[in-house]
Amino acid sequence: MGQKTASDGHDMSVAIDPREVRNAFGKFATGVTVVTCRTPDGQPHGATVNAFTAVSLDPPLAQVTLIRGNKASEYLEEAPFAINIMSASQLEVCLHFAGKPMLKTPKWRDDGEIPVLSDNAATIECRPWRTYDGGDHVIVIGEVQSLEVNDVDPRLFVSGKFREVGPFSGGAPWHGSGDSLAMGWFEGSTAFDTFGASP
């Protein structure tokens, strides 16, 4: 239920169609990850997830949001996990772990405590940090323990469909942002560089 305030100050409950919520959320383009961990009997397990968020640099924290009640959300309870950021070449891997098994078995780099997929755009290995209630989802935050980044394009997801990276457009919006430590925003500064000014 959403909340609106009438002109007389009273709250009015408004039913929000879940399909419209999904459509609106879907307009936010994301990358695609496969979250991997071990099952209780030690087998590698993965789930395709596009609800991934960078949380903090100090300490380094990353968040994934998993459907409540699915196997991955249960297996990640107080367990280390990896966030495999999918490359453009890994469409079949994305589909496989989204519940559409492919004939070609995904390649694992199973050489550590956490099972990791091969050929990722990036891999973020985490130990459990916090878990929160997210309604019909579970919010899992991990503390980053190791990283691997490869020079390949990521796989994208928008409006319920997989996409690929297109050409660059515009500049770097965060360069010279006033809301940054480098600009002194949090140090009580009273003067800031103008946006768009040469560095």
- What pLDDT shows up at residue 102? 85
The token pair at 113 is: 């405590």
**Cα Rg of the chain, angstroms:** 20
**How many domains does the chain contain in total?**
1
Mind listing the pLDDT tens digit for each residue in 57-104? 999 999 999 888 788 888 888 899 999 999 999 999 999 999 888 888
Judge whether 55 lies within some domain: yes
Element (H, E) at 95: helix 91-96
Please check the confidence at residue 109 and state whether its pLDDT lies above 70.
yes
Taking residues 120-128, report their average pLDDT. Answer: 95
- Across residues 110-127, what is the average pLDDT? 91
1 domain residue, yes or no: no
Higher per-residue pLDDT: 193 or 59: 59
Q: Is 187 helix (H, G, I), strand (E, B) or coil?
A: helix
DSSP annotation of 154 reads B
Range of the domain at 43: 16-187
**8 Å CB contact between 33 and 93:** no
Instruction: For residues 47 and 95, give the distance between their C-alpha atoms in angstroms, rounded to a whole number.
Output: 10
Can you name the residues that pair with 147 across neighbouring β-strands? 124
Q: Report the SS3 class of residue 16.
A: coil
- Whether 2 maps to a domain, the answer reads no
* Pair of tokens at residue 193: 């560089």
Reference 47, options 127, 144, 117; nearest CA is: 117
Helices (H) and strands (E) in the chain, counts: 3, 14
In a domain, 7, yes or no: no
| 93: CATH | 2.30.110.10
Residue 111 or residue 128, greater confidence: 128
The C-alpha atoms of residue 125 and residue 145 are separated, in whole angstroms, by 6
- Asked if residue 199 belongs to a domain, the reply is no
Indicate whether 150 belongs to any domain: yes
- Does residue 10 lie in a domain region? no
Residues 193 and 64: their CA atoms lie apart, in Å, by 35
Helix (H) or strand (E) holding 72: helix 71-75
Q: Is 198 within a domain?
A: no
**176 — pLDDT class (breaks 50, 70, 90):** low
Pair 163, 142: CB distance under 8 Å: no
